[in-house]
Chains A and B, each alone.
Chain A
Amino acid sequence: QGPRGSAPVTALLSPAVTSEQIEHLHRRFKQLSQDQLTIRKENFDSIPDLEFNPIRGKIVHAFFDKRNLRQESDGLADEINFEDFLTIMSYFRPIEMNMDEEQLDRFRKEKLKFLFHMYDSDHDGKITLQEYRNVVEELLSGNPHLEKESARSIADGAMMEAASICVGQMGPDQVYEGITFEDFLKMWQGIDIETKMHVRFLNVDTIAHCY
């Protein structure tokens, strides 16, 4: 009763994830989907731990974002199956000791792309000032002490810094359109994100299967 069509996905995940861990994830999937074959956005409401997360909306959204699901079309999917679930999970796999330069680089790009999609909510390939402000507001949401103004100033400051890194000195009438993915990569150069953006599985070996 294993996950169907898991061959291509395990290629994405292996060798970091064993078949036992996939089984665990499958059980978790069934729990979330309440034994259905697909998960919808509403199914994520049943996770108490997630309630506290200020960017909960964006995280859930990321699961249904077709760009993350490596699908050709754009927009949002209504529901995802287990294979899609694993695809999204693969963005958070930890780095392995035996990876070479090229693999590491690809890895890093994938994770940053995932993050980029989280910011770029209108899917136009650029993070505009407004989109950045939205994210900051969400992160600060629910706090009565911080006013909207503070959120805006934080966002504006950050965008300015991004602009200076990516475009250099701007003339007074130049308008910074928005952060593209290349700019995004530039901003994160030299900063180690791989160890911050992963979920590592514990080695839980139950009784082995009999071959």
Chain B
Amino acid sequence: MEVVWAVGQVGAVWVAAVLGLIVLPSALGISLGISEAYMWVLVKTLEWATIRLQTGAKKPLPQPPRTPTANGIIERDETPMEKEIALLHRADFEFSHIFYFCRKGFEAIVEDEVTQRFSSEELLSWNLLTRTNVNFHYISLRLTVVWVIGVIVRYCFLLPLRFTLAAIGITSMIVGTTVVGQLPNSSVKNYLSEVVHLTCSRILVRALSGTIHYHNKENRPQKGGICVANHTSPIDAIILTNDGCYAMVGQVHGGLMGIIQRATVKACPHVWFERSEMKDRHLVTKRLREHVADKSKLPILIFPEGTCINNTSVMMFKKGSFEIGGTIYPVAIKYDPQFGDAFWNSSKYNIVSYLLRIMTSWAIVCNVWYLPPMVRKEDEDAVQFANRVRSAIARQGGLTELPWDGGLKRAKVKDTFKEEQQKNYSKMLVRNGSVG
């Protein structure tokens, strides 16, 4: 009996602390500085660990940060095909062509640009998490002790805390939006809905120990616009809604996600599609266009890549989002992998193990850049516009641009793409006068 009472006391203190120190400030939008203090301690510890590793290895760490293009392990000869074939002495079609393709083939086998992007980024220095321990080996006893302490802190203290917060966040989102949803449509309702969404987002961000730096806030998406961003993980949406309100677009899910979707749509006009509707592109475009046309509605949030990429590059943007019209507000999101890897490798981990990994990382640190709005020009088609937006995002976030489709994670290269390449090569041959 006494034990139960004692546990109850502890539980009550715990909940009170959580509510007072985290939930209340979230609701009011102020920060008590606890996160900052935690991050400071964390950074100091990791710096110390890095120095230990350095002295242990007796070798300086690679100093210059890896340029985005040098993400691979082999040196790619970027000489265009024409130049290279001209360099070989015989201009006619000879064995020369075979060299070029042989080498390209081997380069592709040793390392291909696409598959690389679907595995987590490698770190230059160990961050005391076993999961990034691929390149690092035992150095010293002290380091191991620190690592063990890290494990205890992460699993026994941070994980329950974060779990509690997440639970509170999700519950209040569902309850809050349901309550607000009962009100008749009015500006009061919109205001309250914004408050609820923002508060719950903030709680959820704290649940991940997220430290987010927003840049260029003057370019924040306005009502009636479309916000596009690069996609790394499901928490991208939470990162963005932490700073503003958006209308989400997505497929209707079952389970907990479905409950959240149904609750939130009552309070705020999110656009949820049934699976069957998603297949009909015209229907989707029509609905989104109607939403955008209404200038009083919140900006829509879209991730045009269609799948999660590992945050070192931006893949092809699907043109559908760029056909809707309206103003596009590009946003670049770059995570700092030192504190925790936010990338969701959906072919390797399911959502639950992914969330577990996130919640047992040190923190999620990221930079969000709001880019100036863009509009489609008269002589541009949707694909060119999509590429233009993509370049802007890639440049800002320091990511490389790849022309590949994110769908390659699961599917094979489309035949149309292949034929393009073959046509290019043959055109070049004919031009060189090698025929006849």
Interface status of B130 (Cβ within 8 A of chain A): no
Is A76's beta carbon under 8 Å from chain B? no
How many whole Å from B52's CB to the nearest CB in chain A? Answer: 11
A174 at the binding interface (Cβ < 8 Å): no
A139 to B422 alpha-carbon distance, docked (Å): 9
> Restricting to B62-99, which residues have a CB under 8 Å from any CB of A?
62, 70, 72-75, 84, 88-89, 92-95, 97-99
Residues of chain B lying within 8 A (CB to CB) of residue A24: 73
- Please tell me if the beta carbons of B74 and A199 are within 8 angstroms of each other in the complex: yes
Residues of B within 8 A of A47 (CB): 108-109, 112, 115
Across the interface, do B105 and A50 meet the contact criterion of CB distance under 8 Å? yes
A interface residues with partner B (beta carbon < 8 Å): 21, 24-25, 28, 31-32, 44-56, 59, 89, 92, 115, 118, 135-136, 139-143, 145-146, 150, 153-154, 157-158, 187-188, 191, 193, 196-202, 204-210
Q: Which residues from chain A contact B107 at a C-beta distance below 8 Å?
A: 49, 199
Contacts of B92 in A (CB 8 A): 154, 157-158
In the complex, what distance in Å separates the CA atom of A139 from the CA atom of B135?
40
Complex interface: chain A residues within 8 A of B139 (CB): 210
Q: Tell which of B59, B125, B423, B435 touches A150, judged by Cβ atoms closer than 8 Å.
A: B435
Checking B99, B114, B138, B429 against A49 with a beta-carbon cut-off of 8 angstroms, the contacting residue is B114
A92→B106 contact, CB < 8 A: yes
One of A32, A143, A210 near B422 (C-beta < 8 A): A143
Question: Measured between alpha carbons, how far is A197 from B111 in the docked complex, in Å?
Answer: 16
CB distance from A132 to the nearest CB of B (A): 10
* A115 cross-chain contacts in B, Cβ below 8 A: 95, 98-99, 102
Q: Does B214 contact A (CB under 8 A)?
A: no
Which of B34-42, B330-338, B413-421 lies at the interface? B413-421
CB contact under 8 A between A21 and B73, given known A31-B115, A51-B413: yes
Nearest-CB distance from B372 to chain A (Å)? 34
Q: Provided the pairs A139-B97, A146-B429, A210-B138 are in contact, do residues A52 and B103 lie with their beta carbons within 8 angstroms?
A: no
Nearest CB of A to B46, in Å: 14
Residue of A nearest to B122 (CB): A206
A145 to B429, CA, bound (A): 11
Which residues of B sit under 8 angstroms from A53, Cβ to Cβ? 101, 104-105, 108
Q: Are B422 and A54 in contact (CB under 8 A)?
A: yes
Contact check, B408 vs A139: say whether CB atoms are below 8 A apart. Answer: no
Question: Could you jot down 14 A-B contacts, CB within 8 Å?
Answer: A49-B114, A51-B418, A53-B108, A56-B105, A115-B99, A142-B418, A146-B429, A157-B92, A191-B88, A198-B103, A199-B107, A205-B62, A206-B62, A208-B58
Mark contacts of B135-149 with chain A using CB atoms, 8 A cut-off: 1 yes-contact digit, 0 otherwise: 111110000000000
Note all chain B residues with C-beta closer than 8 A to A208.
57-59
**Chain B residues with Cβ under 8 A from A197's Cβ?**
99, 102-103
B148 CB, min distance to chain A CBs, angstroms: 18
Is the C-beta of B247 less than 8 angstroms from some C-beta in chain A? no
